[in-house]
Structure 1
């Protein structure tokens, strides 16, 4: 490893940016890693747990969150290679009892719809509280009453926790192993993710960070009251835990077409390529094209394969840039750390790799009719009321739990916040809006997800709202 190129220069720059941002924004701790063309660095800053004062170290573990979705998708492709799954087969071929609360809707969903976020399952905030070997099975069984539909399979793209959990259950059925054991056998061991696990009981045996939320009055970071989501959410990212070094190793395995750094063939080059290929595209700046597992973020002519992951009070990210043989991964232990992750990713692309990142949004739009977008939009336990106010769209978002148990889990996951303050959006062009008060250059990077788009105009009204890659449907 040449410490004079990646090691010294990039580590110093990342450390300076991380320390300055964390200190200015009350982020207790942050850890990041970069692999580039045979060289690798990890930098850490601050505190992993404000209660204990434990330092955030290069080897500190953290919850992967939805980064797990790429691991789950990789396992699906492994089973396709072995002939145990067919991407174009109906899910009910393998799960005959799979059902949603709309008769016949589940029968139309193919295996590939689950991992391409094109399945239409409306259960993104469904949190059944079950533990043990049958946890994922319990989730899928509950969809028969709790799982609705947003759209016909394959018609739209909407980020889907439910689809990925059903994919996890498929893996359990065709392999005979619970998800927690399967991910260890098929991913952690062959990839070389030596510090990864799937439970708090395992994580407690080593250094592990916890999440934090800013106190709304003092803005001081306070520890989360929930470490992980229930085990029912394992395949979507509820329970897997590991280190930056582990995620760098996983990312490198994808860079190498399925061969781990130790030389083990984990999955085929064809599967790696298939995961990177476009499988769905909403053709909107705020919704990057979807691969299988990966989201394909265009930064000019360079594609960044990425997935971020929220956990209770924390956020992770994994980015793979095949064109430049680079992997970037990071974790911060407050939700606001996503802003720093975007800053570091753009710095690596612009300054380290020389990528030209064009301006995504140059100016707000002239007047156009906003009435097609006003109305009430809903998805699982989420309500968004939109009205036209002073030439902007004003949104009021509220979580409406199905029952007390759902409410308790979501409230803990969100740090006690169940309703957002009103947010106004300025028009950029018909169907596309930006949150008021933000500089337009903020949306050039990963945070383009903060833009809101509207889709499928029928009878003068939008059918869908897309925010953060998730659809809600007009009611």
Structure 2
């Protein structure tokens, strides 16, 4: 084992819109991804070697050793296990203690074709963590008196949600954020071709299918809820969602490595580990790093780092993004969500609580799944935060639970 200091650089959220790569234009898969949808499948082979043909993975830990007596070894061992035992190309973690000190960890390789090192705090596609960002913006607007949580969707988007039992006159903003609207999940119906999707196209896909239940009757995870939440933000503010996320969250708390990709931008801007897909056990890894993420939009389009996610969730729980009344709404009246988020998980308004196995209370986060990447983690009320990313989308709960155990190792003192 050898210690390495990961690369870091400041991101730029302005400038031109890169053209979509040839690989991304040709890439074909059945749509899935984001939490609660089917995993990505068929992909264009790009000639990368299987991970088993590589040399042993590089490992690293960088930053001040401020964790508890077992944190450093447990987190690094957990990442090593994800690479060596689970066959993931790379695993990354960021651990922030209650005093704001941060330590990053890596295992594996950043590019299986070249064997390059994993960037210490590399950017990844954070999938459904984006929902927590979107929910914060909605709740900020609630605090400003511009949105009412218990107002119907029709108040803001009149006549938009109709058909097949889906009715915006009965679905409230709270139902959207809490995942109790009964709206079908559009990611189940996206088809094969990768291209730019406008938000209204995503909504239209969902509305071609029957409602799952009456609004408020049951909890059912649907990415469609957050597309509608994003459309409400745009209608109320008269500004693009990306600008509101940037102004209200990213710039406000200094998330220097977080951005909402512009239309046509299939790249990841800063140093990053490549993301991969494997069609079956033992099959070659296929590089799917460059992909148009527009199909995730308000439900899953953001790019970030583990350390920025730690900062975001810590700032949120610490009152740096919402007034107390709205933060209490976000965390209150949670509903069981174990089928999607694992044992003990409960869903609030775009925020998930999970119990710590060390008997040290709860942590709050969301997690995200996107083709090529999986992110898990969150923060505690006393300022501890951990996020872990791996460079393959996990399509089984057992795999996600193994990543969760690394989160637990970092949060348990």
TM range (shorter): 0.7 to 0.9
Give the structure 2 partner of residue 274 of structure 1: 329
How many residues matched? 337
2: distance between equivalents of 1:207 and 1:95? 39
2:371 match:
312
Q: 2:345 is matched with which residue: 273, 288, 292?
A: 288
Residue matched to 1:165? 227
SS of corresponding position for 1:172: helix
Select the residue among 73, 81, 93 that pairs with 2:135.
73
Matched, 1:187 2:245: no
Q: For residues 239-262 of structure 1, what are the alpha-carbon distances to aligned partners after superposition, in whole Å with 9 as ceiling and x for unaligned?
A: 2101112111101102311x2xxx
- More strand by proportion, 1 or 2? 1
Identify the residue that residue 92 of structure 1 maps to in structure 2.
154
The answer for the alignment partner of 2:280 in structure 1 is 216
Paired residues for 1:46-57 under 5 Å: 46-57=108-119
Of the three residues 47, 71, 74, the one matched with 1:10 is 71
Task: Indicate the structure whose relative CO is greater, using CA pairs within 8 Å and at least 6 residues apart.
Answer: 2
Offset at residue 206 of structure 1 (A): 1.7
Q: Which moved more, 1:35-44 or 1:332-341?
A: 332-341
Structure 1 SS opposite 2:217: coil
Sort the Cα spacing of 1:230 and 1:203 in 2 relative to 1 into closer, same or farther, 3 A.
closer
Residues 1:335 and 2:393 aligned together: yes
Is the 2:98–2:384 Cα contact (8 Å) retained in structure 1?
Answer: yes
TM-score normalized with structure 1 length: 0.65
* Matched residue SS, 1:330: strand
Structure 1 match to 2:318: 256
Residues 3 and 123 of structure 1: CA distance in aligned 2, closer, same or farther (over 3 Å): closer
> For 1:105, which of 159, 167, 170 is the aligned residue?
167
For residues 70 and 344 of structure 2, what CA distance do their matches in structure 1 show? 33
State the alpha-carbon separation in 1 of the partners of residues 243 and 199 from structure 2.
13
* Match of residue 367 from structure 1: none
Q: CA RMSD in A?
A: 2.8
Q: Which residue of 2 aligns with 1:424?
A: none
Shift of 1:127: 3.0
In the aligned structure 2, how far is the partner of 1:210 from the partner of 1:121?
A: 33
Distance 1:346 1:158 in 2: 26
8 Å Cα contact 2:93-2:388 kept in structure 1? yes
Aligned-partner Cα distance in 2 for 1:49–1:97 = 48
Is the Cα–Cα contact under 8 Å of residues 113 and 153 in structure 1 kept in the other structure? yes
Deviation of 1:332 after TM superposition, in Å, equals 0.1
Q: Please, which runs of 5 or more residues in structure 1 have no aligned partner?
A: 260-265, 354-475
Q: How far apart are the structure 2 equivalents of 1:188 and 1:62?
A: 16
Matches of 1:214 and 1:193 in 2, distance apart? 32
The Cα shift of 1:231 comes to 1.3
Deviation at 1:310, TM superposition (A): 0.8
Distance 2:206 2:88 in 1: 37
Cα deviation for residue 123 of structure 1 reads 2.5
Secondary structure of 2:328 counterpart:
helix
Give, in whole Å, the separation in 2 of the partners of 1:8 and 1:101. Answer: 57
SS in 2 for 1:114: helix
Mapped partners of 1:302, 1:126: distance in 2 = 38
Equivalent residue, structure 1, for 2:202? 139
Deviation at 1:329, TM superposition (A): 0.6
Q: 1:130 to 1:103 in 2, by over 3 A?
A: farther
Counterpart check, 1:33 vs 2:94: yes
Aligned counterpart, 1:326: 384
How high is the TM-score relative to the length of structure 2?
Answer: 0.74
| 8 Å CA contact 1:197, 1:203 repeated in 2 | no
